[in-house]
């Protein structure tokens, strides 16, 4: 395969990944890493390096549009980034010390769990549940635009959500996926933030998380400009397209897309890791 054809194919796959990442808050990495390793035979460490660059591009492209439209909760995003950044550095450190097969299996198991959680019904707010004092003190309660006008929401489970973000950051540094799936699930299931707010806030956060762990991969020589450039351009265009469609997309459809995509990719990654280890 020629360099030109390889770059074009990688850019096309990356565009699709960026589109899905912007719609679901995944960041595109859950498509990029399996695609590069399964379809193009790229070493998983180099695939993760390119994915981290693409995650930064996704965040830069989609997040700005979401902030302008009023979906992203900036206060929550900046607060939770404290935990994810430390987790990302820890995860990148661990990734340098385990085998590619182990990384692939961990990747798949994390995605299967994410698919399972995404398919579950969201916990309902009990009658009488009012604003949480800590969330009020941090001014996290906000609103987001709908076709019927702004809709307000309350944030819950701040300490637990903050703890889960450290795990999300560790997953990002270890797997190069931006850990958008885990961030969305933590905000949606634990903190009871509306799904569209969760996905858009996740897109805002993943760039900082990825940048922290990308530095470790760059230092180890796992970021190849020839691979990262077409990935970054494709993901950026796809994320901008996804950001335009999200406000009109049905939340139920987003959840089903979210669960289906990551489950299929999880099975492929585990199979590839097991076969490749023998």
pLDDT score recorded for residue 277: 57
* Banded pLDDT at 224 (limits 50, 70, 90): very high
Chain segment 51-102, per-residue pLDDT in tens: 888 777 766 666 777 788 888 898 999 999 899 888 888 888 887 788 777 8
pLDDT score recorded for residue 162: 92
Taking the C-alpha atoms of residue 167 and residue 182, their distance in angstroms, rounded to an integer, is 8
User: Closest Cα to residue 72, out of 169, 187, 230, 232?
Assistant: 187
Q: Write down the domain spans for the chain.
A: 3-276
- pTM score, whole prediction: 0.66
Chain segment 186-208, per-residue pLDDT in tens: 888 788 888 888 878 887 887 77
Give the mean pLDDT of 176-187. 72
Given a cut of 60, is residue 2 above it in pLDDT?
yes
């Amino acid at each position: 395969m020629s360099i030109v054809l390889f770059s074009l194919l990688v850019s096309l796959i990356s565009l699709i990944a960026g589109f899905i990442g912007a719609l679901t808050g995944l960041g595109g990495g859950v498509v990029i890493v399996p695609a590069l390793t399964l379809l193009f035979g790229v070493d998983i460490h180099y695939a993760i390096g390119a994915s981290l660059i693409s995650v930064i591009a996704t965040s830069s492209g989609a997040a700005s549009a979401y902030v302008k439209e009023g979906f992203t909760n900036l206060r929550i995003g900046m607060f939770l980034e404290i935990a994810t950044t430390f987790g990302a550095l820890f995860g990148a450190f661990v990734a340098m010390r385990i085998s590619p097969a182990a990384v692939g299996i961990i990747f798949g198991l994390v995605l299967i769990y994410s698919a399972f959680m995404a398919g579950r019904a969201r916990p309902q707010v009990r009658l009488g549940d009012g604003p949480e004092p800590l969330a009020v003190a941090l001014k996290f309660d906000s609103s987001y635009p709908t076709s019927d006008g702004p809709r307000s929401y309350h944030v819950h489970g701040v300490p637990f959500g903050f703890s889960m973000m450290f795990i999300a950051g560790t997953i990002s540094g270890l797997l190069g996926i931006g850990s958008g799936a885990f961030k969305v699930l933590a905000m949606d299931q634990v903190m009871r933030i509306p799904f569209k707010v969760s996905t858009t806030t996740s897109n805002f956060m993943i760039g900082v998380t990825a940048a922290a762990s990308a530095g470790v991969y760059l230092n180890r020589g796992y970021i190849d400009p020839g691979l990262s450039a077409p990935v970054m351009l494709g993901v950026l265009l796809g994320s901008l397209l996804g950001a335009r469609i999200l406000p009109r997309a049905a939340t139920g459809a987003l959840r089903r897309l979210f669960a289906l995509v990551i489950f299929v990719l999880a099975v492929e990654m585990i199979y590839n890791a097991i076969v490749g280890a023998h």
